[in-house]
Amino acid sequence: MELKTKFNFGGNELTQEEKGYIEEKIEKLKKLLPSGEDKEVLAEVNIKKDKKSFWTIEFLLDSSYEVYRASESDRDLRNAMDRIEESVKIQLKKDKEKITDLRIKGKRELKEEFVLDDQARI
């Protein structure tokens, strides 16, 4: 699975350390994506800094299965990114649980439909 990352800094300049930190968080989220995803996943990060020195980060993770979104504001860029990571992690875990539950339910239904005759020899 290939992850394409698109950054929009809105006229602000980030240090290599800050950009590396954000990319590290995105890589962690990539590992949580449901298996069987398409080969390409798009991560879009919009970063803005207002006049009061608040960082606003809007994050979008677009996979073939679902689109995950989160937005946070904070005076510290790292804190905002940490909260976004937690928010998207929760969304990803819910989807993984939903997929797992659907698979288990499907297996149960198949098992219930598959009824053998009492005299059948297996």
Sketch the domain layout of the chain as residue ranges.
2-113
DSSP 116: -
Q: What is the pLDDT of residues 44-97, one digit of tens each?
A: 999 998 888 889 999 999 887 789 999 999 999 999 999 999 999 999 888 888
Instruction: Answer whether residue 112 shows pLDDT above 70.
Output: no
> Percentage of the chain with pLDDT > 90?
33
pLDDT score recorded for residue 102: 79
pLDDT score recorded for residue 56: 93
Contact between residue 57 and residue 84 where contact means Cβ atoms under 8 Å apart: yes
**pTM of the predicted structure, to 2 decimals:** 0.76
Q: What is the pLDDT of residues 4-40, one digit of tens each?
A: 889 888 888 888 999 899 999 998 888 888 766 556 7
Q: Which of 42, 58, 38 is nearest to 4 (CA)?
A: 42
Identify the band that residue 113 occupies on the pLDDT scale cut at 50, 70 and 90.
Answer: low
From CA 96, how far away is CA 89, in angstroms rounded? 10
Answer CATH for 2-113 from 1.10.3720.10, 3.10.20.30, 3.40.50.10490, 3.30.160.100: 3.30.160.100
